[in-house]
């Protein structure tokens, strides 16, 4: 039996999860499997998998790359592979992609990629070439702190082994064969190796994206809202070192630089004076060459992570200390507002540490510790020559000035946590966790963005600032769980857990109502921490799950119910948010099943049936389509013969409707994945959207609702890619 070793899972707690499971458990091979002993370790202390009261999925690199190499991005691949995660869009942003209908915390090796400023680019963060596996824990948990009310996604990167130097090379291409620029090219290379004292890996992956085309051979329109991945070039450099310091001590160091930038000349032509967007003449909209802008969409991120471990300290404890730093810069696309044309630039710096102690005392497993982190945020907005932009239909954008976009702020967070697991009997394990978290928010004074723009354009000379201020959040979270093994090969669990979410301060503070008195903008009413404090959202969840294997059948399923007393509401005119005392709940059923028909054939699938509701006028109403999650279903058939493996998979997203008759229409796609082991290396081929179905992506339909208060809906008609063909070759030597 092969074992898969999982390392840090928790972000804000220093908790570690390790699972041992058959290495092919997530592979497409349909051979009958014998369930091995699965063990889970929190802070790297052994605990059987059957004792964890939670829904956990592990996606290995083979299963992930089978999806990625057909042309899917990381967001799309996770939506196909994890039942509780919404289907991802084909753009840069993951806005609205939830886990069980709530926000998810995304990490790389335990370092959070989430920010309080909800830019939703957590999965525009790493090339899959560097990913060893992805661990997904569904549902809120008191131990994981803020931002994980829906669950956690931890991306575990590849590490070196105690072995001579090893090299991996990868080349690949994806194309729909519509035009010369209809292609994705990728090249990646890594070197790794080491000895008993030190091991290291260094890798680089580069991907060059051309244009995307819909099933009718038409170029997919550029996303002028959250930006997309067309005409972009990405580079991801990642390195790590592991040191064995002796006497039960170890030190792991890792660093990453990631950059994804728009490099093209094709963009959405909005017609003269933007008539295609705001003049109710959508027929003028088209994709054109000739785009030139002083600011283009880009994601740039650097991270550093250090982990120290010492065993048998302080009376037999294991001690873990992690320090981390993350810095990112995000640029958005030029957006043609009716009053001005601008592009946003946003900076986030995060650093902190996590410390944890863990010990086994007979049938008790105890772990406790503390976390601290600080996040600094600032932003600006580039203004373009409006006359030139309008005359060119949005293709030419020249900078004329810079203003503020959101107020600068700082978030400090510190927490104490503890977890106790008691093995009551060989079949039953009880667990309880407690977390007390204190967060401090400091917001700077800020002149509302609209007034700054007006002054830059000559309307007024001075303005009152919306006052800044401070706010404190003290929250105590806990979880209780029980895990029971009713029979060999089966386990069931029941848990209650709590999570906490701080809504986006940048989208809440710093706005105001002004009057122009002479040349001075006089503040009439502003949104600041004193007059309109930002409320946190506490989420509670109950879950009942079952996992088992009976002969050729294996499955995992869970029923869940989550609720909160407050809800976030998006203002479609200002695109800012409000936090209302409005009860919200999500409930549903998720699961996955696989059945081996023979040694060659297998079938399976996964599902998420979910309902999101808000309390209005004494009744429960369906939540709006701007943030609710659709239900989905996936089915697959696997075939294996010799070194060949093949899978046909179908994914269906159900139509989502709210009580205002707004809808996100459902769609179905079919993909073909195949691979074979050659004499040297592995060859993978695939066809995405095999039936060449035309559909509007989920984000396209959301964007039309969110931004469509004054713009024509056709502006946001981002159709899914048509049939594409892929080939990929990977060799280890």
Please tell me the distance from the alpha carbon of residue 353 to that of residue 409, in angstroms, as a whole number.
20
Would you say residue 284 has pLDDT above 80? yes
Share of the chain above pLDDT 90, in %: 84
Would you say residue 497 has pLDDT above 90? yes
Nearest to 136 by CA among 177, 195, 77: 77
pLDDT of residue 54: 87
Q: Contact, 688 vs 664, CB < 8 A? A: no
pLDDT of residue 400: 97
pLDDT of residue 145: 67
Confidence of residue 575 (pLDDT cuts 50, 70, 90): confident
Q: Phi-psi bin for 150: left (phi > 0), alpha (psi -120 to 50), beta? A: alpha
Would you say residue 342 has pLDDT above 50? yes
Q: How far is CA 523 from the centre of its chain?
A: 38
Q: Which DSSP string do the residues of 570-597 spell out, in sequence order?
A: E-TTT--EEEES--EEEEEEEEEEEEE-
Confidence of residue 638 (pLDDT cuts 50, 70, 90): very high
E strands in 488-529: 490-501, 512-517, 520-526
Please tell me the distance from the alpha carbon of residue 685 to that of residue 350, in angstroms, as a whole number.
40
pLDDT of residue 148: 84
**Per-residue model confidence as pLDDT tens digits over 526-547:** 999 998 999 999 999 999 999 9
Share of the chain above pLDDT 70, in %: 93
Confidence of residue 13 (pLDDT cuts 50, 70, 90): very low
Would you say residue 435 has pLDDT above 80? yes
- H-helix or E-strand containing 46? strand 45-48
Please tell me the distance from the alpha carbon of residue 244 to that of residue 311, in angstroms, as a whole number.
12
| Average pLDDT value over all residues in the chain | 90
Would you say residue 454 has pLDDT above 50? yes
Please tell me the distance from the alpha carbon of residue 456 to that of residue 287, in angstroms, as a whole number.
31
Would you say residue 337 has pLDDT above 90? no
**Per-residue model confidence as pLDDT tens digits over 304-330:** 999 999 999 999 999 999 999 999 999
Would you say residue 376 has pLDDT above 60? yes
Q: Contact, 255 vs 381, CB < 8 A? A: no
Q: Average the pLDDT over 549-576 and give the result.
A: 92
Q: 635: which 2 tokens?
A: 């089915």
The residues, ordered by sequence, that sit 6+ positions from 209 with a Cβ below 8 Å of its Cβ are 184, 229, 230, 231, 232, 233, 234
The 3-class SS string of 282-311 reads HHHCEEEECCEECCCCEEEEEEEEEEEEEE
Work out whether the CA dihedral 441, 444, 447, 449 comes out positive or negative: negative
Architecture of domain 39-199+237-326+338-413+423-732: Beta Barrel (2.40)
pLDDT of residue 51: 60
Strands 584-596 and 553-564: antiparallel
Q: Average the pLDDT over 294-302 and give the result.
A: 97
Q: 332: which 2 tokens?
A: 């958005």
Please tell me the distance from the alpha carbon of residue 49 to that of residue 293, in angstroms, as a whole number.
53
Please tell me the distance from the alpha carbon of residue 494 to that of residue 430, in angstroms, as a whole number.
10
Nearest to 55 by CA among 83, 28, 23, 35: 83
pLDDT of residue 120: 86
Would you say residue 35 has pLDDT above 90? no
**Interior angle at CA 266, CA 261 and CA 267, nearest 5:** 90
- H-helix or E-strand containing 205? strand 198-209
Higher pLDDT, 46 or 418: 418
Confidence of residue 19 (pLDDT cuts 50, 70, 90): very low
Strands 151-157 and 104-108: parallel
**Per-residue model confidence as pLDDT tens digits over 203-235:** 999 999 999 999 999 999 999 999 999 999 999
Distance in Å from the first CA to the final CA of the chain: 25
Q: Average the pLDDT over 462-487 and give the result.
A: 95
| For the chain, the helix, strand and coil percentages under 3-state DSSP, each to the nearest 5 | 10, 55, 35
Q: Average the pLDDT over 88-93 and give the result.
A: 90
Please tell me the distance from the alpha carbon of residue 312 to that of residue 289, in angstroms, as a whole number.
64
**Per-residue model confidence as pLDDT tens digits over 601-628:** 999 999 999 999 999 989 999 999 999 9
Confidence of residue 589 (pLDDT cuts 50, 70, 90): very high
pLDDT of residue 140: 84
Confidence of residue 576 (pLDDT cuts 50, 70, 90): confident
pLDDT of residue 67: 93
């Amino acid at each position: 039996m092969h074992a898969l070793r999982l390392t840090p899972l928790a972000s804000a707690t220093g908790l570690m999860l390790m699972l041992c499971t058959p290495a092919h458990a997530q592979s497409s091979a349909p051979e009958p499997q014998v369930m091995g002993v699965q063990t889970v370790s929190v802070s790297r202390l052994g605990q059987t998998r059957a004792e964890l009261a939670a829904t956990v999925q592990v996606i290995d690199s083979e299963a992930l790359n089978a999806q990625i190499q057909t042309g899917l991005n990381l967001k799309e691949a996770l939506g196909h592979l994890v039942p509780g995660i919404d289907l991802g869009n084909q753009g840069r942003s993951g806005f609205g992609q939830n886990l069980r209908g709530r926000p998810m915390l995304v990490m790389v090796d335990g370092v959070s990629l989430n920010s309080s400023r909800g830019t939703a680019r957590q999965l525009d963060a790493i090339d899959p070439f560097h990913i060893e596996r992805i661990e997904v824990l569904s549902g809120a948990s008191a131990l994981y702190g803020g931002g994980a009310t829906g669950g956690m996604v931890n991306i575990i990167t590849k590490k070196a082994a105690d072995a001579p130097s090893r090299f991996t090379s990868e080349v690949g291409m994806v194309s729909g064969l519509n035009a010369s620029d209809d292609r994705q090219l990728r090249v990646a290379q890594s070197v790794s190796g080491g000895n008993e004292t030190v091991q290291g890996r260094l890798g680089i992956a580069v991907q060059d994206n051309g244009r995307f085309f819909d099933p009718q051979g038409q170029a997919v329109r550029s996303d002028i809202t959250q930006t997309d991945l067309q005409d972009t070039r990405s580079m991801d450099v990642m390195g790590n070192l592991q040191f064995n310091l002796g006497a039960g001590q170890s030190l792991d160091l890792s660093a990453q630089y990631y950059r994804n930038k728009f490099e093209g000349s094709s963009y959405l032509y909005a017609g003269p004076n933007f008539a295609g967007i705001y003049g109710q003449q959508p027929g003028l909209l088209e994709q054109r060459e000739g785009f030139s802008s002083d600011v283009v969409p880009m994601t740039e991120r650097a991270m550093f992570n250090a982990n120290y471990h010492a065993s048998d300290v302080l009376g037999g404890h294991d001690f873990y200390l992690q320090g981390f730093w993350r810095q990112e810069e995000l640029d958005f696309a030029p957006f043609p507002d009716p009053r001005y044309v601008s592009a946003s630039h946003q900076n986030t710096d995060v650093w902190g540490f996590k410390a944890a102690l863990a010990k086994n005392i007979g049938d008790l497993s105890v772990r406790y510790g503390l976390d601290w982190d600080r996040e600094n945020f600032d932003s600006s907005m580039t203004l373009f020559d409006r006359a030139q932009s309008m005359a060119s239909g949005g293709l030419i954008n020249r900078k004329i000035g810079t203003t503020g976009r959101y107020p600068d702020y700082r978030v400090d967070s510190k927490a104490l946590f503890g977890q106790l697991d008691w093995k009551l009997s060989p079949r039953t394990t009880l667990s309880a966790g407690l977390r007390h978290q204190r967060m401090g928010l400091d917001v700077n004074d800020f002149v509302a963005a609209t007034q700054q723009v007006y002054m830059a354009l000559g309307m007024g000379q001075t303005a009152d600032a919306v006052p800044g201020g401070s706010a404190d959040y003290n929250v105590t979270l806990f979880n209780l769980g029980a895990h029971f093994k009713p029979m060999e090969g089966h386990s069931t669990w029941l848990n209650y857990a709590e999570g906490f979410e701080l809504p986006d301060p940048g989208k809440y503070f710093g706005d105001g109502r002004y009057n122009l008195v002479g040349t001075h903008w006089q503040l009439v009413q502003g949104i600041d921490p004193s007059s309109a404090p930002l409320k946190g959202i506490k989420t509670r969840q109950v879950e009942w799950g079952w996992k088992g294997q009976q002969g050729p059948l294996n499955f995992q399923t869970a029923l869940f119910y989550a609720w909160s007393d407050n809800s976030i509401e998006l203002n479609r005119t200002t695109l800012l948010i409000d936090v209302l005392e409005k009860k919200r709940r999500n409930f549903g059923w998720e699961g996955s099943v696989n059945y081996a028909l023979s040694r060659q054939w297998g079938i399976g699938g996964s599902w998420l049936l979910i309902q999101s509701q808000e309390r209005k006028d004494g009744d429960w109403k369906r939540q709006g389509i701007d943030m609710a999650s659709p239900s989905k279903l996936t089915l697959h058939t696997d075939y294996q013969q010799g070194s060949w493996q093949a899978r046909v998979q179908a994914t269906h997203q159900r139509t989502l409707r709210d009580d205002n008759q707004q809808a996100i229409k459902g769609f179905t796609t079919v993909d073909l994945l195949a691979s074979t082991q050659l004499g040297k290396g592995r060859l993978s081929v695939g066809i995405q959207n095999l039936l060449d179905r035309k559909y509007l992506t989920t984000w396209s339909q959301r964007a039309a609702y969110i931004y469509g208060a004054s713009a024509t809906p056709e502006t946001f008609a981002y159709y899914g890619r048509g049939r594409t063909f892929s080939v990929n070759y990977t060799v280890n030597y």
